[in-house]
Amino acid sequence: EVQLVESGGGLVQPGGSLRLSCAASNFPFSSYALSWVRQAPGKGLEWVSFISGSGAGTYYADSVKGRFTISRDNSKNTLYLQMNSLRAEDTALYYCAKGPGITGATELDYWGQGTLVTVSS
Amino acid sequence: DIQMTQSPSSVSASVGDRVTITCRASQDISSWLAWYQQKPGKAPKLLIYAASSLQSGVPSRFSGSASGTDFTLTIRSLQPEDFATYYCQQAKSFPLTFGGGTKVEIK
C-alpha cells in the first residue's frame, strides 16, 4: 500500500520559516509527480505546489509563489516544502499527495494524513 | 485560473437516498475532473477521475458524469459510511483548483 507520511509542522511566528517533509514508501518514488495541498481549519482544499517525478518541473499557487519552494530527494524517497515569510493565512493542515503519473496536471490518487502548520505570535 | 463552482454546499439525506452533487467549471476542462470524499479528521480519498472513471476499490454506487462544463457526482443509494464532505477538482491545468465542497449530512 502506498504510504505518505508528512512531518515538520508546528507553531511558527509570522515572518518565520518552516520545512515540511513527506516520506514516501511502497511505490517507485521517482516515477510519480507529487503535490502539496493545504486545508485551513474548517475550510476547503487548496492546492499549493507540484513537482514532477524528476524534479525538473514545478508549479505554485499564486498565494505562495516566491515564498514557498518545493523539492524532492529521489534517493531518499522524500518530498519537501520550504516555507518562508509565513503569514497567518498559511495556517493549515498540509497534505502531501501523489499523482498517477510522472508529470502533468492530474488527479491525486493517494494522500498522507497531513501535518499542521500554525502561524501565530 | 479555472474556477470550480460546486453545489449545493450541503445536503441532508437519509440512508438509501439518491444524492447528486454538481460542479461547474469556468471554462472547458474536457473530462479532466476528479471527485474526492473527505471524512472528519481524515485525508481526502479519490473516488472518481476523468469525470466518470471509478477509482479502484470505490463502491459502484458512486458514479460521475459530464455535460459540457457541468459535472455530476451521484451516490445511488446512500450508506451510513457515505456521510462526508465531497470535493471536485479540475485536472486540466495548473493551478489545480477545487470546488468549495458539499457536506452530505444525515437527515
Q: Which of residues 7-26 of B touch A (CB under 8 A)?
A: none
**C-alpha distance from residue A49 to each of A91, A96, A105, B2 (Å):** 16, 10, 11, 16
Residue B81: DSSP 8-state: G
Q: Does B96 touch chain A (CB under 8 A)?
A: yes
Residues A43-91 have pLDDT tens digits of 999 999 999 999 999 999 999 999 999 999 999 999 999 999 999 999 9
HSE, side-chain direction, 13 A CA sphere, residue B71: 32
A33 Cβ neighbours under 8 A, 6+ residues apart: A50, A51, A52, A53, A57, A98, A99, A101, A102, A103, A104, A106
Q: Does B93 touch chain A (CB under 8 A)?
A: yes
pLDDT values of chain B reduced to their tens digit, one per residue, 107 residues:
999 999 999 999 999 999 999 999 999 999 999 999 999 999 999 999 999 999 999 999 999 999 999 999 999 999 999 999 999 999 999 999 999 999 999 88
Alpha helices, DSSP H only, in chain A?
Answer: none
Q: Which of residues 53-82 of B touch A (CB under 8 A)?
A: 55
- Binary contact (A100, B43; C-beta < 8 A): no
